[in-house]
Structure 1
Amino acid sequence: MACYKYGYLHVAEVQLLPKKRRQPAERQVWACLLTAGAPLTWQCNTHIGALNAVGSQGWIAERGVQSATPERVHQAIVAKTGEALVSSISTQHFMRIRTA
């Protein structure tokens, strides 16, 4: 019998605050994988790049839906980026990976 581990992938746009007044704000795409453990966050070039990263590890992602960015995801991204403005809307993908 097949066993699966489940999780959610959230992909959000982030605007980094400039270190100097005259610098433009930098926009980045960040992904956050939520499973039973601690959230795993990383910067990616595009939304597709985030899906490719989890797909290469064996995760099967469902079609994404726009939803409010969960507070847990917001905190995980800010912890990695320092001061940043995280979009209030992210794309959420339900995912599973075969474990046995």
Structure 2
Amino acid sequence: IQGIIIDAFTSVREQTETKAALKRERCLVCNRSRSAIEVEGVESGLLNSFARHTQDEHNFFHYFFYIQHVTAKDPKDLNGIESYVVDKLKTQDMTWIPRV
């Protein structure tokens, strides 16, 4: 039984580490790699490009709350852009997210 418990904790730890590594190495919104974003930043003369990108340009929580907002809204109260985004979300088309 101890072996099963230890294996379960090991599995949970590995999953947590994998998720943390993904968050460190890829933008959760556009899925671009940290290295690609950093290279573009260096070419533009910017430092900490990945941090700036994930905190300012593609802040996960901004997108999350926006999606919550538009999907909770009464469809007849949506403006044009919100309707467009809701239609894209219904078909799981994420092209409405700008690539920065």
Q: Under a length normalisation based on structure 1, what TM-score does the superposition of the two structures give?
A: 0.22
Q: Which has the higher strand share?
A: 1
**TM-score, structure 2 length as denominator?**
0.22
Q: Relative contact order (alpha carbons < 8 A, sep ≥ 6): 1 or 2 greater?
A: 1
Name the structure where helix makes up a greater proportion of residues: 2
